[in-house]
Amino acid sequence: MIREAAKHRHTQPLVAVRCDGSVESASFVRSIAIAAIDEAIRRIIQSQAPFPPFHPALAREYEVIEIRLSWAFYTAIRLY
């Protein structure tokens, strides 16, 4: 699946984060159309929740913010 995903430029998840740091939703602006990969990305995003709560000044103005991510797949092995 990763080789197939790497053929596509990238996918763009759109994450809606609530002011308390919880994830309201994770959708795709542009999907690579591989359901298993899309679901894996959603699970990765959800596994990082909760995010830090908004600063009080930001929370007074916004209950939810949307963050567009860039997600790319590579077939090369990288060691860090």
C-alpha angle 80-33-11 in degrees, rounded to nearest 5: 45
User: What is the mean pLDDT of the segment spanning 26-41?
Assistant: 80
pLDDT range class, residue 2, cuts 50, 70, 90: low
39 and 27 Cβ atoms separated by less than 8 Å: no
Mean predicted confidence (pLDDT) in 39-64: 92
- The whole-number average pLDDT for the span 63-71 is 88
Q: How far apart are CA 51 and CA 66, in angstroms?
A: 13
Predicted local confidence at residue 4, as pLDDT = 65
Percent of the chain at pLDDT > 90 equals 36
Using left for φ > 0, alpha for ψ between -120 and 50, and beta otherwise, residue 67 falls in: beta
pLDDT at 75: 62
CB distance 11 to 32 below 8 Å? yes
Report the predicted TM-score, pTM, of the whole model to 2 decimal places: 0.71
What's at 57, amino acid-wise?
Answer: A
